[in-house]
C-alpha cells in the first residue's frame, strides 16, 4: 500500500512542477534554517573544549551595585580582589578559575602586524578548565607568586608568531613591549566558548588590576564543585557571602549570582541580577520557532488544497467505487509526509553545505558546527510534524467532497 502511495505521490509531484518547486523550497529552506540554528544552539549550550565540566560548575560574571532609593546602578565584571578575598574562601568550592577580560597587543613579525589577545588567569584556571597542551605545561602558584613573566600561548599564536618550528618552549613573545617566556602551547579554543578564548595567557599577578581592592573589575570566575550534588550548597554559600559584602558609600544593595552554564547565558541575554531570563528566552525562542514554522505551513496547506481540488475527479471516482473517507485521508497524509521528507532530505543536504561554508569561512575563530545525532533527530522530528500538520486539514477538506460534484469537476 505504501509503495502505491509513494508512486502516486511522485506522479503528483511531476504533474505540477512549479507548485512542487515552491513546496520543496519552502520546506527545505525552513528546515535548513532550523537545523543550522539547532546546531548553533547545541554548540553554544553544550559542554565544549575546554569547558567540559559544566555539570559541576557555577559561573560568576558580573556584579551590580544599586542605590534603590535614587535608582543609581553600577554594573560590571568583578575584580581579582573579589575572587581572592571572598569567593576563594567558600568552603563548598573545590577549585576556582579566575580570568580577566581579553586585552589586545600589537606585535610585528616579518614586517606584518599581528594582534595578540591576552588575558590574565590564576593557577587553578588550568585545573578547572581542561585545556589540551600540545607542548609544555601551565604556570603554577609558585611562578605566579614569584611574579615570573611566563606565558601559555595558543597553537594559532605559535604558528603566527614563531612560524613553522617544532618547539617554542623557552622562547620569548612580546605583548605591550614586555617579553614573556613561553612555557606552554595549547590547542586553539573555539570563538564560541565565551570567556575562555585567548591567544596568550599570563599570571594574574602581572596585571595592573591586581592592586585594585574594589569589587568591580574586568574578571569572571568559574566555581568548581567536587560533584554535581555540591552545586546547591555552593549557590547557597555564595549568596550568603554576597549578603555580607561591604557596600560602597551612596549605595545600599549588591547583587551577584553564581549560575549554572545555561542560566548564565540566559541571564546575560535577557535577564538581569534579579531575573535569570530563562522564561524570556524560552518565550522568545518558542514564538520565533512557531512563527517560522507557521508561515510555511500555512503556505503548504494552501498549495495542498489546490493540489487536492485539481484531483477532485480522481477522488470522486475512488469514492464511487467504495473508497472510504478514512482511506483517502490516510492516503493524502502519507503523500504529504513523503513530499515533506523529500524536502527534509534536501534541507539536510543544504544544512550540511551551509555548515561547511560557515566552518570554512572562519568568521568565528576556530568555530566548527556539526550535524550530530541530536541535530539530526530534531530535524527528522520537525519534518514529521511539518508534514503531518500541513497535510491534515487539506486531507480533511478532501474527504468532505461530494461525489457528484467531484465527478463533474
Residue 30 located in a structural domain: yes
- pLDDT, tens digit (0-9, with 9 covering 90-100), for 276-333: 888 898 888 888 877 776 766 676 666 666 666 666 666 666 666 666 667 777 777 7
pLDDT at 210: 80
Number of domains composing the chain: 2
Question: Residue by residue, what is the 3-state secondary structure of 117-166?
Answer: EEEEECCCHHHHCCCCEEEECCCCHHHHHCCCCEEEEEHHHHHHHHCCCC
User: Quick one: 224 and 257 in the same domain?
Assistant: yes
pLDDT at 316: 66
Answer with the one of 269, 302, 331 that is the final residue of a domain: 269
Whether the pLDDT of residue 12 is over 70: the answer is no
Residue 176 located in a structural domain: yes
Residue 57 located in a structural domain: no
Among 387, 392, 309, residue whose Cα is nearest residue 26? 387
Residue 79 located in a structural domain: yes
How far is the C-alpha of 324 from the C-alpha of 314, rounded, in Å? 13
Burial string for 366-388 (b: 16+ CB within 10 Å, else e) reads: bbebebeeebeebbeebbeebbe
Ranges 58-62, 295-299, 374-378, most confident:
58-62
User: Quick one: 157 and 221 in the same domain?
Assistant: yes
User: Quick one: 38 and 67 in the same domain?
Assistant: no
Q: Residue 228, Cβ neighbours under 10 Å: how many?
A: 13
Residue 314 located in a structural domain: yes
How far is the C-alpha of 307 from the C-alpha of 107, rounded, in Å? 65
Mean pLDDT of the chain: 83
User: Quick one: 228 and 80 in the same domain?
Assistant: yes
User: Quick one: 284 and 346 in the same domain?
Assistant: yes
Hey, what's the cell of 136? 609544555
Looking at per-residue confidence, does 369 or 91 come out higher?
Answer: 91
User: Quick one: 125 and 76 in the same domain?
Assistant: yes
Looking at per-residue confidence, does 341 or 181 come out higher?
Answer: 181
pLDDT at 230: 95
Residue 395 located in a structural domain: yes
pLDDT at 37: 80
Average pLDDT for residues 373-390, to the nearest whole number? 68
Residue 112 located in a structural domain: yes
pLDDT at 339: 75
Q: How far is residue 229 CA from its own chain's centroid?
A: 25
Question: Whole-prediction pTM value?
Answer: 0.79
Residues 363-369: contacts with CB under 8 Å, at least 24 apart: 364/190, 364/191, 364/192, 365/156, 365/188, 365/190, 365/191, 365/197, 366/156, 366/188, 366/189, 366/190, 366/191, 367/43, 367/190, 367/191, 367/192, 368/190, 369/36, 369/39, 369/40, 369/43
Q: What percent of the chain has pLDDT over 90?
A: 40
Please provide residue 370's backbone torsions phi and psi, each rounded to the nearest 5 degrees: -150, 150
User: Quick one: 11 and 116 in the same domain?
Assistant: no
User: Quick one: 75 and 12 in the same domain?
Assistant: no
Q: How far apart are the first and last CA of the chain?
A: 27
The residue range of the domain holding 220 is 63-269
Amino acid at each position: 500500500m505504501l509503495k502505491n502511495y509513494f508512486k502516486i505521490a511522485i506522479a503528483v509531484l511531476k504533474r505540477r512542477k512549479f507548485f512542487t518547486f515552491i513546496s520543496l523550497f519552502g520546506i527545505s529552506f525552513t528546515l535548513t534554517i532550523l537545523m543550522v540554528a539547532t546546531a548553533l544552539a547545541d554548540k553554544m549550550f553544550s559542554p565544549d573544549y575546554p569547558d567540559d565540566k559544566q555539570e559541576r560548575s557555577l559561573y560568576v560574571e558580573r556584579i551590580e551595585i544599586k542605590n534603590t532609593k535614587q535608582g543609581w546602578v553600577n554594573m560590571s565584571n568583578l575584580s581579582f580582589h573579589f575572587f581572592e578575598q571572598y569567593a576563594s574562601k567558600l568552603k563548598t568550592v573545590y577549585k576556582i578559575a579566575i580570568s580577566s577580560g581579553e586585552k589586545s597587543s600589537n606585535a610585528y613579525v616579518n614586517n606584518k602586524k599581528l594582534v595578540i589577545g591576552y588575558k590574565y588567569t590564576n593557577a587553578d584556571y588550568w585545573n578547572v578548565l581542561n585545556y589540551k597542551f600540545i607542548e609544555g605545561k601551565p604556570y603554577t602558584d609558585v611562578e605566579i607568586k614569584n611574579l615570573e613573566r611566563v606565558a601559555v600561548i595558543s597553537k594559532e599564536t605559535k604558528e603566527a608568531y614563531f612560524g613553522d618550528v617544532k618547539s617554542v618552549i623557552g622562547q620569548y613573545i612580546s605583548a605591550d613591549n614586555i617579553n614573556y617566556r613561553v612555557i606552554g602551547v595549547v590547542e586553539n579554543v573555539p570563538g564560541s566558548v565565551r570567556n575562555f578564548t585567548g591567544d596568550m595567557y599570563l599570571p594574574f599577578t602581572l596585571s595592573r588590576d591586581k592592586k585594585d581592592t574594589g569589587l568591580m573589575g574586568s574578571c569572571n570566575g568559574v566555581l568548581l564543585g567536587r560533584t554535581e550534588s555540591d552545586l546547591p550548597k555552593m549557590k547557597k554559600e555564595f549568596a550568603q557571602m554576597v549578603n555580607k559584602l561591604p557596600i560602597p558609600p551612596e549605595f545600599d544593595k549588591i547583587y551577584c549570582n553564581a549560575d549554572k552554564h545555561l542560566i548564565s547565558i540566559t541571564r546575560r541575554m535577557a535577564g538581569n541580577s534579579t531575573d535569570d531570563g530563562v522564561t524570556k528566552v524560552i518565550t522568545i525562542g518558542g514564538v520565533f520557532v512557531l512563527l517560522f514554522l507557521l508561515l510555511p505551513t500555512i503556505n503548504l496547506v494552501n498549495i495542498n488544497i489546490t493540489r487536492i481540488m485539481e484531483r477532485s475527479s480522481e477522488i470522486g471516482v475512488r469514492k464511487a467505487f467504495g473508497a472510504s473517507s478514512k482511506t483517502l485521508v490516510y492516503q493524502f497524509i502519507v503523500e504529504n509526509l513523503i513530499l515533506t521528507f523529500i524536502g527534509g532530505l534536501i534541507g539536510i543536504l543544504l544544512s550540511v553545505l551551509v555548515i561547511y561554508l560557515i566552518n570554512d569561512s572562519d568568521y568565528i575563530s576556530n568555530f566548527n558546527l556539526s550535524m550530530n545525532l541530536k541535530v539530526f533527530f530534531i530535524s527528522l522530528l520537525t519534518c514529521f510534524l511539518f508534514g503531518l500538520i500541513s497535510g491534515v486539514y487539506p486531507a480533511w477538506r478532501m474527504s468532505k467532497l461530494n461525489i457528484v460534484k467531484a465527478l463533474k469537476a
